[in-house]
Amino acid sequence: MSDGHGPAERLALGVPLGKALDTTSPAAWVALDTGVRILASRAANRLPTRHELRGLPAGPPSPAAESRIALALCHPNGRVREAALERVAGARGLRPLLVVRCADWAAPVRARARAVLADTAGPWLPALAPLVLLLSLRDRGGFTLRLMEDVLRDGPGTDAEALLTDEDRAVRRLAYRIAVDRHLLTPAELARTAATAGDDVRIQVLCAEAALAGAGEDDYDSVLALLLAARSPQVRSAGVTGLRRAGRYGEAAAFLADRSGLVRACARYVLRQGGTDPLPLYRSMCADPARHPAAAAGLGECGSREDIETLWPLSAHRLPAVRAHAVPALCALDAVRPDRMCPLLDDPAPAVVRAAARALRPYAVELHQDWLRARVAPDRPRHTRMAAQRLLDAQERAYARGSGYPRL
């Protein structure tokens, strides 16, 4: 049996629904819908008819009847699908296909399915959230999503909380939006989630902002502590901005040399709101760059032409982190000199080489091709070869536009 319509064929052979496909997978239900239509194209397809549906016993269907109704719900004939909807209300195992039919391409089928769903929707619907969200991507898939959101907003809070740890990222995001709107989580819980929400930036930012908005005087300090110590720059930046609301402007100075440009920008904003100019602080930090490697980047972001002479020596500092931050700082001040920047393509630190390649890209036509080609030789480190190749590619694009001629 092929993967595309194997479940449909198994149902047609009388295999119970729970054994014919993975009923926990949203994609499996969508694939079944497609597979039945493929099966219908065969001469001997063994699909149910409306007459057969009328002959099925009333009440909850047996496993065999459930398989036949599932096939009917996916039947290419809209009248068969519509007739099968009359048997869905009392069949828990067929609810996913009711959700599928709410996005049906045939208006009568779609309308009937939505009427049935509206009459029967309850706590069971959020359990199908991954399927609902998958189908919401279709042109006609918004109805069920809106209905499910209403159930989550009006029903017990535990229904929404149960989805906060769902494996599906879209489900988690929806659950957190509703939990925030319903104030189901405390500011401390929100801050803890923001600081530990993996790589889901949307949930991080949503929870961080909600934690700050809902924090009172008693828990504001603990909320800020969690946000400021977070690994995510989006969460740390929210925490730094929160220092302004708390009136703790001076504490933002500790984040002027954060590794994230977003956090550094927020720190400068908070300090200025408190009447402190961050530029002298950056200049002081750059006098001891080993303690504040990213201070060089911050100096470039808010400094002036007079800071260029401070930054060039930092591009040759013994610490790779300092060198890597000094290069974009020079770019920010429009101080790149290809003759001084090119040696950094041979730097042992990949981060420095990547930064130098980005800085040299606008000057690619000025670089000697032979010099770059020598750096794509097999004996060169991988990061050097990749950087040199990118610059050679930039040269070729520039020559194709007529922006210059090769320098050999």
Distance set, CA 242 to CA 148, 154, 275 (Å) = 34, 32, 16
- Residue 241 inside a domain? The answer is no
The partner residues of 340 in beta bridges, in order of sequence, read none
Quote the pLDDT of residue 2: 42
Residue pLDDT, tens place only, 393-404: 999 998 888 765
- Give how many domains the chain has, as a whole number: 2
Strand partners, 65: none
CB 297 within 8 A of CB 325: yes
Question: Does 114 reside within a domain?
Answer: yes
Residue 4 banded pLDDT, cuts 50, 70, 90: very low
Band of pLDDT at residue 216, cut at 50, 70 and 90: confident
- Determine, yes or no, domain membership for 186: no
How confident is the model over 329-352, as a mean pLDDT? 96
Supply the pLDDT for residue 40: 85
Segment 122-126 mean pLDDT: 91
Distances (CA, A) of 199 to 42, 187, 190: 47, 20, 16
Q: What is the pTM of this model?
A: 0.84
* Of 281 and 221, more confident: 281
Residue 320 lies in a domain: no
Mean pLDDT of 375-385: 96
59-113 tens-digit pLDDT? 888 999 999 999 999 999 999 999 999 988 878 999 999 999 999 999 999 999 9
pLDDT attached to residue 81: 95
308 in a structural domain: no
pLDDT number for residue 44:
63
Mean of pLDDT values over 377-387: 96
Residue 14 lies in a domain: yes
User: What was the pLDDT predicted at 399?
Assistant: 84
Backbone angles phi, psi at 90, to 5 degrees: -95, 10
The pLDDT of residue 131 is above 90 = yes
Give the residue from 68, 85, 120 where a domain finishes: 120
State residue 43's pLDDT score.
Answer: 56
* Per-residue pLDDT band at 330 (split at 50, 70, 90): very high
Q: Is the pLDDT assigned to residue 405 strictly greater than 80?
A: no
Whole-number Å distance between alpha carbons of 17 and 28: 12
Per the structure, the complete domain to which residue 383 belongs is given by 344-408
User: What pLDDT is stored for residue 404 in this prediction?
Assistant: 59
Q: Residue 407: what pLDDT?
A: 62
What distance in Å separates the CA atoms of residue 117 and residue 97, rounded to the nearest whole number? 11
Last residue within a domain, chosen from 97, 120, 143: 120
Q: Domain for residue 191, yes or no?
A: no
Q: How many angstroms from the chain centroid is the CA of residue 83?
A: 41
At residue 211's C-alpha, the angle toward residues 260 and 125, to 5°, is 110
Share the mean pLDDT of the chain: 93
242-273: per-residue pLDDT in tens?
999 999 999 999 999 999 999 999 999 999 99
Is the pLDDT confidence value at 3 over 60?
no
**Domain-ending residue, one of 77, 102, 120:** 120
Instruction: Give the mean pLDDT of 344-361.
Output: 97
Residue 304 has pLDDT above 80, yes or no: yes
Tell me the DSSP string of 345-386: GG-S-HHHHHHHHHHHGGGGGGSBHHHHHHTTSTTS-HHHHH
Q: Residue 69: inside a domain, yes or no?
A: yes
